[in-house]
Amino acid sequence: MRLSRLLGLCILSTSALGHPPPPEPAEEMLRNPWVVEFVFGLGPHRPGYSRINGYPTKAACEAAIRTLPPGGGGDGHCVYMEWGTNRIIGSQDPDWSGKDQWVIEFNAVDGKYRRHGDAYPSKEECEAAIPFQLRMQGGYNGHCIEFKDGHYVGSHDPAWAGK
């Protein structure tokens, strides 16, 4: 009997580990999308990239860089974490920069702009995917925009047109 209670308590205590985090951390991340990206060495000719902290604005992020120790972010630069599409805008990390050149931007049923997370290597491939993705995403007025130099070129979204 005691063994079954103990097993039950173990199962109950570990079941919470599989659940998503409470909404507070996600909201905190969304409120503070600007992070410091910096380079650190992983050995000869092999840089590593790391991102730390979160700030509500680019100005706040840039001001914070001066307070961080060199190698721990103080020699870094600010990048924008677009949590909705899991992009790092402005990254110097080869795994993030230069990737995903063309994305579909569209109006969602709630009237807000959305970008489809899949990316396309050319404008032609992106445009060919618009009809299917609009059906899948439930959107309208889809068009392709280029992700170039950390900015969405051609975005109709006022929040992204200058980023």
pLDDT of 20 > 50? The answer is no
- pLDDT for 6: 40
In DSSP terms, 106 is beta-bridged to: 114
Q: Same domain for 79 and 109? A: no
Q: What is the pTM of this model?
A: 0.48
Same domain, 67 and 102: no
pLDDT tens digit sequence for 55-67: 999 899 999 988 8
Residue 45 counted as domain residue: yes
Query: Is the pLDDT assigned to residue 50 strictly greater than 60?
Result: yes
Identify the pLDDT of residue 63.
92
Which percentage of the chain shows pLDDT scores above 70? Answer: 67
Cβ neighbours of residue 143 closer than 8 Å, sequence gap 6 or more = 104, 105, 106, 130, 154, 156
Residue 13, domain member (yes or no): no
Is 11 a member of any domain? no
Classify residue 8: in a domain, yes or no.
no
Q: With 60 as the cut, is the pLDDT of residue 41 above it?
A: yes
DSSP 78-115: EEEEETTTTEEET---TTTTT---EEEEEEETTS-EEE
Average pLDDT rounded to a whole number, residues 78-93: 76
Asked if residue 69 is part of any domain, the answer here is yes
If pLDDT is split at 50, 70 and 90, which confidence band does 131 have?
Answer: very high
Which of 90, 112, 138 is the last residue before a domain boundary? 90
103 and 151 both lie in a single domain: yes
Domain assignment of residue 118, given as a range: 98-155
In a domain, 130, yes or no: yes
86 with 25, same domain: the answer is: yes
**Number of structural domains in the chain:** 2
